[in-house]
């Protein structure tokens, strides 16, 4: 399973390290913002929304855990991975306490990077949903199961509504799917569903097929991440 396109912040003081990470990520279709120190990483997180941050543990002006803690004040739901040449138990504890989700060891290899991203994004989706459900793990599993079963039916219904120019049905089904998606940290899927909902409200069908295709792709990625952590 490949993670869908993400907005990724890379904080790495080595130009070589930045080039490696950026190239690997961009080849997979991800949008990358790369910086060379902690201050710039914190500034970027204050003005741009990211899905994932890759933070060097030893930056020239501060360390990865301090940067992670600062980023969490701006973006509490962003996934964060530490990138380090050596890992100690104390370092792991500090990174976890700062809200980091895992580690990548240098030199970073492609499969290691992509697998860590898959695992981390899937875990982040579930942890966000768990918070939204009051910390009830049994309810989380029911919600995930219901979402994975209901989404194909809703997408098929939306497709039929568009083909029939049935604006009320388009609004109703897109509204239902948008409400389900909002339990998870999936802003692009939610945005596409909301756009279809508004199109149904206005009775506008221009480009509706393209919007549906984008929504279906995002929902497929979301389903895969949830399935990977079932």
Q: Are both 156 and 79 inside the same structural domain?
A: no
The residue among 132, 154, 171 that closes a domain is: 132
Considering the domain boundaries, does residue 2 fall inside one?
Answer: no
What CATH number corresponds to the domain at position 97?
3.40.50.2300
Q: Are both 162 and 85 inside the same structural domain?
A: no
Sign of CA dihedral 71, 72, 74, 79: positive
Instruction: List C-alpha distances in Å: 136 to 81, 129, 142, 167.
Output: 26, 10, 10, 36
Q: What is the pLDDT of residues 45-83, one digit of tens each?
A: 999 989 899 999 989 998 889 999 999 888 887 889 999
Distant-in-sequence, close-in-space partners of 95: CB < 8 Å, separation ≥ 6? 57, 64, 65, 68, 82, 103
Q: Are both 119 and 187 inside the same structural domain?
A: no
Q: Are both 101 and 114 inside the same structural domain?
A: yes
Please state the pTM of the whole predicted model.
0.64
Q: What is the pLDDT of residues 76-127, one digit of tens each?
A: 878 899 998 776 777 778 888 888 888 888 889 998 998 888 788 777 777 7
């Amino acid at each position: 399973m490949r993670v869908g396109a993400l907005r990724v912040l890379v904080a790495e003081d080595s130009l070589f390290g930045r080039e490696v990470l950026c190239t690997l990520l961009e080849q997979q279709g991800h949008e990358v913002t790369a910086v060379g120190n902690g201050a710039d990483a914190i500034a970027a997180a204050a003005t741009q929304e990211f899905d994932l941050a890759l933070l060097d543990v030893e930056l020239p002006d501060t360390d990865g855990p301090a940067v992670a803690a600062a980023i969490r004040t701006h973006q509490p739901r962003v996934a964060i991975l530490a990138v380090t040449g050596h890992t100690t138990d104390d370092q792991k504890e500090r990174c976890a306490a700062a809200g980091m989700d895992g580690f990548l060891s240098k030199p970073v290899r492609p499969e290691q990077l992509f697998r860590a991203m898959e695992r981390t994004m899937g875990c982040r989706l579930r942890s966000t949903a768990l918070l939204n459900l009051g910390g009830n793990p049994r309810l989380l599993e029911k919600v995930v199961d219901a979402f994975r079963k209901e989404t194909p039916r809703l997408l098929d219904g939306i497709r039929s509504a568009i083909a029939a120019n049935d604006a009320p049905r388009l609004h109703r089904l897109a509204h239902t799917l948008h409400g389900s998606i909002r339990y998870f940290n999936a802003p692009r899927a939610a945005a596409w569903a909301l756009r279809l909902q508004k199109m149904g409200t206005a009775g506008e069908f221009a480009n509706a097929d393209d919007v549906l295709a984008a929504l279906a792709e995002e929902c497929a990625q979301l389903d895969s991440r949830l399935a990977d952590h079932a």
